[in-house]
Amino acid sequence: MTTKNKAVFLDRDGVLNEEIGTYVWQPENFVICPGVPESLARLKAAGYYLIVVTNQAGIAKGLYTAAEVRACHAKLQAACGGLLDALYFADAHPSVSESILRKPNSGMLEKAIARFNLDPAKCWIVGDRLRDMEAGTAVGVRGILVGEEEVEFLPCVADLRAATDIILAV
């Protein structure tokens, strides 16, 4: 039997890049949060796959294109030294189309679990919304919530640096 791998699933807006209160699809407005490259390097050094899982409803709404999302992801990869193993995005929105990929559904996580032979019990999801936590819970992945919202039974932290400290302490 092969050993299963571990990963950290990362929401994008509000965790990896600054939340600006609207859709972030232009690379010039895509600002990486402080400490993100260093945190990702620490997680990668500890043997975690790093997988971005982000809802991008603006594509379904016709506000921007998948190519523009990929340009932001290229900027993120460049800033982080290419440490991200996969960048998944759900391009649906309930007002336009349904998708099992869109969080709180777990399709993006399921794709990565299969692709990278992951053990969900060894994985984490770091996000800034309850829908991120719901996607993780659906497949047995522990969650850490970033931001102001306090949720009972969940670690709630200020940023990815603090989430990284929790993950690496376990």
* pLDDT tens profile 148-162: 777 777 899 999 999
Percent residues over pLDDT 90 in the chain: 85
- CATH number of the domain encompassing residue 140: 3.40.50.1000
The count of domains in the chain is 1
Judge whether 28 lies within some domain: yes
**Marked catalytic residue, from 13, 91, 128, 159:** 13
Neighbours of 151 (CB within 10 A): 11
**Marked catalytic residue, from 11, 128, 132, 159:** 11
Sheet holding 156-157, edge to edge: 86-90, 48-55, 6-10, 124-127, 142-146, 156-157
Judge whether 1 lies within some domain: no
Q: Is 13 a catalytic residue?
A: yes
Query: DSSP code of 140?
Result: T
What does the block give as tokens for 138? 């659906």
Average pLDDT, the chain: 94
Judge whether 82 lies within some domain: yes
* pLDDT tens profile 64-94: 999 999 999 999 999 999 999 999 999 987 7
Judge whether 35 lies within some domain: yes
pTM value is 0.95
| pLDDT for res 1 | 59
In this predicted structure, the answer to whether residue 3 has a pLDDT above a threshold of 90 is no
Measured between alpha carbons, how far is 170 from 60 in angstroms, rounded to an integer? 39
Judge whether 130 lies within some domain: yes
Q: Is 91 a catalytic residue?
A: no
Least confident of 46-60, 77-91, 95-109, 120-134: 95-109
For residue 127, the enclosing domain spans 6-169
Measured between alpha carbons, how far is 145 from 126 in angstroms, rounded to an integer? 6
In this predicted structure, the answer to whether residue 132 has a pLDDT above a threshold of 90 is yes
Please choose, from the candidates 128, 111, 98, the residue with its C-alpha nearest in 3D space to the C-alpha of residue 51: 111
